[in-house]
Structure formats: C-alpha cells, structure tokens
Amino acid sequence: MIRKFAVNARPADLLNLGFLLFLTSVAVVFRDKIDGPAYLVLLYSALVLAQALLLLLKDRNRILKWSYNLVLPTLSILLIFDSLERLVHYLNPRDIDPQLIRLDYMLFGGYPTVMLEKIMNPFLTDVLQLAYSSYYFIPISLGVVLLTKKKPEEFDQSLFFIMLCFYLSYLGYMLMPAIGPRFTIGHLQNKPLEGLFFTGPLQEFLNRLEGVKRDAFPSGHTGIALTVLYLAFRFERRLYYILLPLVSALVVATVYCRYHYVVDVIGGVMLTLLTLAVGEIWYARRAGTTSTDMPVAGKSSD
C-alpha cells in the first residue's frame, strides 16, 4: 500500500500528506499547550487515511474519482483551517496587529479602513461583500472547469499550486498571528459597515464559519484568488476573463470590508509570488528541466 501510494501519488497528494504529518507532529509535541491535542491527532490521522484510501480506490467509479480530485482536497483545506483555532493562539499568543497597524499608518498617513469611509455606500458594500465571499468558490470553479474539460494534467498542477498557497498561508498565521482591523481599530471607525441586503447576513455567516483564528496576515483571500487567477490565465483563458473583475473586487473588499490591513494584502501578493516560485521549481525539477523551458501542461482556451 505504501509503495503504491508513493508511485501513484500526485504532488498535491504528497503535499497534503506532508502537511498533515507536520500538523500531527505539532499537536503531539505541543500537546500540553494547545486545545484538544487528541482531537487534532485524530482529525489529521483520519484525513491521512482518507487520502491513502482514495488514492487506491479512485478508479473504481466516478464518485470516488471526484471525491479524490475535489471533495477530499476541499475538506482537508477547510478542516485544517478550522483546526487552527486550537493551535495558533496557543502556540504563539503574541498578535502582530500593532506592527501591521503602524505599517499601514506609515504608508498612508492614516488608517485605510477609516479612510475608505469616504467612498462607502450600501450598494458598494453589498457588491464588495459578495466579492469577498466568492473566495470559497473561486478555486473550486477552476477545478470543476478543468475536470469537465478533461484536462487532468492542468488540474493536478493547479491543485498543487492552490493547496501550496493555502498551506503556506496557514504557516504564516502560525508564525505571525493577527486578528485584523475590524477587531483592533473598529473603535476608530466613524460609520458602521452597512449594506442593502447581503452584507449583514454574509458577515454573520462568515463569522460563524471562520471564527477567530488570527488569520489576517498574510491575506489568504488575496493570495489564493491571485493564484487561481494566474492558473486560469495559463490553463483556461475564458475563465480568467470571468474571474478578473471578481478577483479585483475581492482584493479591494479585503480592506473595504475591514477584514484586512493593506499590509496583509501586500503579504497576500507576496504569498502568491512565493507559491508560484516554489511550484514552478517543483514541477521543473519533476520534469527534469528548468522553469524557463518547462512545457506548459496545456494550451489555454481563447
């Protein structure tokens, strides 16, 4: 079983397995500091087992194949993110918000979330809140399009890049925890963030879904959205043109909707660049060539 896993595993499978084993080690080593270490070990072990079983059984039917390609990676990303609430603040209780606030102030001579009140109106707030919430569907949309168009190599590579970006962002939260401007400088805001129809319900839903995980820096919303945009430009050009305005609005929404400092967004851009650099190096070495002359997995749709 181990040999078959090693031979047949995609880079994304190995990445997922490696990160789960890393988190399991963290839960064991720091079991006296974190919240619910036994639960975390059980969760990570279950995901490792699911990864191994689906790799072995994926070719038996379409349900298992789609579970292997989309369901398990999505569950792994979401469940690992949810588990960070039991890890981050216990491992590293010092938030870096004061430093991020100072950097924003140095760059803009004020607080960007407060400065954006000048252009705030309910309709724009609803539009940007919807764009911000689309973050959960943007990566899945690329995966579904690539799979339905029968582009397995492009899908596998995209999955690796997206999971790498997620897991690098999770490491960032563990090393540099920050809670974000809506909690730290909310008292400086002169106006509440109000929309027409969607803002309130969406904010409440996201607050319940995400909780408080010290996940402001780097901006994973920015990093993931830009990574998917790059992959869409490379592999599925029509989808790129659909996502471009949505991703642009999402990046603006991270600050306008008071989830992130501008410095977080800059960190998200750097996260994307790091993801692409590491991913290209991995695939270049895997192909036995350099990244400059590495063949593209497939032509984009014009």
> DSSP E strands: which ranges in 104-188?
none
SS3 93: coil
In the predicted model, is pLDDT for residue 127 greater than 60? yes
Instruction: Answer whether 39's CB lies under 8 Å from 86's CB.
Output: yes
ω into 218 cis (within 30 of 0): yes
Query: Domain map of the chain by residue range?
Result: 1-91, 96-302
Buried b (16+ CB within 10 A) or exposed e, 25-61: ebbeeeeeebebbeebbebbeebbebbbbbbeebeee
Q: How far apart are CA 84 and CA 102, in angstroms?
A: 26
- Residue with more model confidence, 8 or 220: 220
The pLDDT tens digits of the residues spanning 187-217 come to 999 999 999 999 999 888 888 777 667 899 9
Residue with tokens 């070990």: 41
Q: How far apart are CA 253 and CA 138, in angstroms?
A: 15
Instruction: Answer whether 33's CB lies under 8 Å from 90's CB.
Output: yes
Confidence of residue 287 (pLDDT cuts 50, 70, 90): low
For residue 6, what pLDDT is reported?
62
Residue 252, H or E segment? helix 237-256
The pLDDT tens digits of the residues spanning 131-152 come to 999 998 999 999 999 999 999 9
CATH architecture of 96-302: Up-down Bundle (1.20)
The pLDDT tens digits of the residues spanning 11-58 come to 999 999 999 999 999 999 999 999 999 999 999 999 999 999 999 999
Q: How far apart are CA 245 and CA 146, in angstroms?
A: 20
Instruction: Answer whether 92's CB lies under 8 Å from 180's CB.
Output: no
The pLDDT tens digits of the residues spanning 53-82 come to 999 999 999 999 999 999 999 999 999 999
Nearest to 254 by CA among 97, 96, 128, 144: 128
Confidence of residue 293 (pLDDT cuts 50, 70, 90): very low
DSSP code of residue 258: T
How much of the chain, in percent, has pLDDT values that exceed 70? 92
Mean pLDDT computed over 106-122: 96
In the predicted model, is pLDDT for residue 300 greater than 60? no
For residue 250, what pLDDT is reported?
98
For residue 298, what pLDDT is reported?
47
In the predicted model, is pLDDT for residue 299 greater than 70? no
Q: Is 95 left (phi over 0), alpha (psi -120 to 50) or beta?
A: beta
For residue 205, what pLDDT is reported?
85
For residue 288, what pLDDT is reported?
66
